[in-house]
A and B are shown apart, each in its own frame.
Chain A
Amino acid sequence: NAGVTQTPKFRVLKTGQSMTLLCAQDMNHEYMYWYRQDPGMGLRLIHYSVGEGTTAKGEVPDGYNVSRLKKQNFLLGLESAAPSQTSVYFCASSYSIRYNEQFFGPGTRLTVL
């Protein structure tokens, strides 16, 4: 049981490049989330999904897109990376929002030059 996994672990991009971060969970969770963590800002929600085929915006969605084609996978895309998107990105999942704890992946450290 791997829990929540994320690929890649590290990435360096140039401004304007694009990339996709992959999150996978093997716990059959309905809910999945993408957060970013910045020094002094805490973790903030980018996008989330309440089930296969659904996505919704979080607190800081601008510059990102997501897709959830399969229940176990949640993809985060950056179409045109900007230095302001330099951050550590965490994926999380849970059975429900209200009653169950969220489980986090190990994170992806992204640097945009």
Chain B
Amino acid sequence: KQEVTQIPAALSVPEGENLVLNCSFTDSAIYNLQWFRQDPGKGLTSLLLIQSSQREQTSGRLNASLDKSSGRSTLYIAASQPGDSATYLCAVIRPGANNLFFGTGTRLTVIP
């Protein structure tokens, strides 16, 4: 069974700092990996989707990388802002499955 782990569970950084969020998964045979953002009491907002054949994806200040062989992905956030405060979730889809397998998330707080 695919297990997805996100460490740390919570992270606080001062505004303006660059930061990296980590995601690891046990089965490297995946179709894709998706990063989401969840604000308190809200739904999930898709940030980036990386296909298994890709190494990274970028959107604005966000850059996500994927290393299938080691079962790891990172989400890099440049020049963090208080508005980036949220819980960040990663999720993978593996062949033969019909759903995303989610990590439990990293709760990010950016301090003004």
Contacts and interface: CB of A to CB of B under 8 A. Distances in A.
B102 interface: yes
Given A97-B31, A99-B51, A33 B99 contact: yes
Interface residues of A, number: 28
A58 to B, nearest CB: 6
Given A48-B99, A58-B99, A102 B34 contact: yes
Which range contains the number of B residues in contact with the other chain? 20 to 34
Interface stretch (A12-20, A66-74, A77-85, A104-112): A104-112
A106 B42 contact: yes
Question: Chain A CB within 10 Å — which of B34, B36, B51, B102 has the most?
Answer: B102
A56 interface: yes
Interface in B82-112: 89, 91, 93, 97-100, 102-105
